[in-house]
Amino acid sequence: MNQKIKVLVVDDSSVMRKIIARAIEKDARIQVIGYASNGMQAIEAVRTLNPDVVTLDIEMPEMDGLSALRELRKEHKRLPVIMFSSLTHRGAQSTMMALTAGASDYVGKPNTSSGGMEESFKVLETELIPKIIGLAKRARTSKSIVPPTPLPSTPIQTIGPTERLTPATTQTLTSGVVPTRAICAVCIGVSTGGPVALMQLFSQFKQSLPVPIFIVQHMPPTFTTLLAARLSTTSLLSVKEPEDGEIAQSGMVYMAPGGFHMLLTASGTKTVIRLTLDPPENSCRPAADVLFRSAAEIYGSSLLGVVLTGMGSDGTKGCQVIKSKHGQVIAQDEESSVIWGMPGAVVREGLADTVLPLVKIADEIAFRARKTAGVRKDE
């Protein structure tokens, strides 16, 4: 990426505009080319300035961010738009609406009154800059950045032929054909770009599954609650945040609550979901590694681990445990990932049995689940 990434900053607060600009321009690859203080100005600025990425506040006068986003998507369907939202219930609701309307991702707006300027800069440097770079890189190298609705209608190029998801055609990176085995549980780890990816994934399931699914999505409290509710409305599967001590049921989808690790324990023939406040791993709580490790101990070779788009490498160590128990791992491909950090780390470590575009993963999970014999452990 030789040219600088051109960013349009949209926020009604002059203080926040300055904070955003100062933070992201510390990275030499990024240049702020303009500002707007409301949605109407943002629409006009996009037309005249042609930015690579837009950061868009939600609550603004005259025209709010959601309305502006809907208007932008009429003319600029692939323009990366990162929403800024407050870490409140109202902010989380607005974020879910924005992601449904086609936002590429979101960043929680730092509280300048409580954390101070330096803390705000740190938040933006660690969260916003990687998303800007990842989204801009993908926009420049791929023609397939699309909003979550409508869903992509054409397959994305994959490693090996995957037109028919059967044991004879699903490919591995190293040894040819992967013999798909029956599964008794699915664990999903996902981060940056995850809400959109999960909405796409779960909207593609055509029927209920005979196995439980467990999800770790890196999001704060309230956000995960609303995301679970949103997934339930877009899918035939029922998605919820579990309570500590809840018994996992086949056909259910359990999303780790923001701020809590989710791990699995065995009680006789039942799987018990535990929520803990143990220290973060990979700077995350919930962390995919925690879930993957515990699930591998219970389900053995009957576990399928799925690593989707996200920054960092959370999930890699957990996949090592899954593989040591002879379970299998699917990684999302680079082309369809917002940021190929988490799945890329799994692939580079040689842990991925199969690398697939997002539009193929639901069919692969369903195919493996239909083969299940109902045996929980590797016996």
DSSP string, 300-354: GGGEEEEE-SBSS-TTHHHHHHHHHTT-EEEEE-TTT-SSBSHHHHHHHTT--SE
pLDDT surpasses 50 at 171: no
Question: What pLDDT is attached to residue 140?
Answer: 74
Query: Which CATH code fits 5-141?
Result: 3.40.50.2300
**What integer is the mean pLDDT of 318-346?**
95
Amino acid, res. 11: D
pLDDT in tens, 64-91: 999 999 999 999 988 999 998 887 788 8
Model's pTM, two decimal places?
Answer: 0.83
Quickly tell me which residue has 């940021």 as its tokens: 339
- The residues that are catalytic are 191, 218, 314
Sign (positive or negative) of CA dihedral 73, 125, 133, 32: positive
**Could you tell me which CATH class the domain 185-370 is placed in?**
alpha beta
pLDDT surpasses 50 at 378: no
Q: Please compute, for residue 360, the number of CA atoms within 13 A of its CA located in the half-sphere on the CB side.
A: 27
pLDDT surpasses 60 at 180: yes
Domains of the chain by residue range: 5-141, 185-370
Do domains 5-141 and 185-370 share one topology? The answer is yes
